[in-house]
């Protein structure tokens, strides 16, 4: 967010809120840290399916 004006930040957050309001059956999950990036990608892909 460095270099952005507060107005840009507000607009970005507003856009984010709009997108979230359009989503149905959304689940927010914490993705555990792993040293292997592929392991994280596999977990995320399995959650999306």
pLDDT in tens, 2-48: 555 556 767 778 888 888 778 777 777 788 888 888 988 898 888 87
pLDDT of residue 2: 54
The pTM of this model reads 0.40
pLDDT of residue 3: 56
pLDDT of residue 6: 58
CB under 8 Å to 18, separation ≥6 — which residues? none
pLDDT of residue 20: 78
Helix residue spans in 1-49 (DSSP H): 6-22, 37-48
């Amino acid at each position: 967010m460095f270099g952005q004006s507060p107005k840009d930040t507000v607009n970005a957050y507003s856009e984010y809120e709009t997108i979230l309001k359009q989503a149905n059956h959304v689940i927010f999950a914490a993705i555990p840290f792993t040293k292997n990036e592929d392991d994280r990608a596999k977990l995320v892909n399995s959650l999306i399916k």
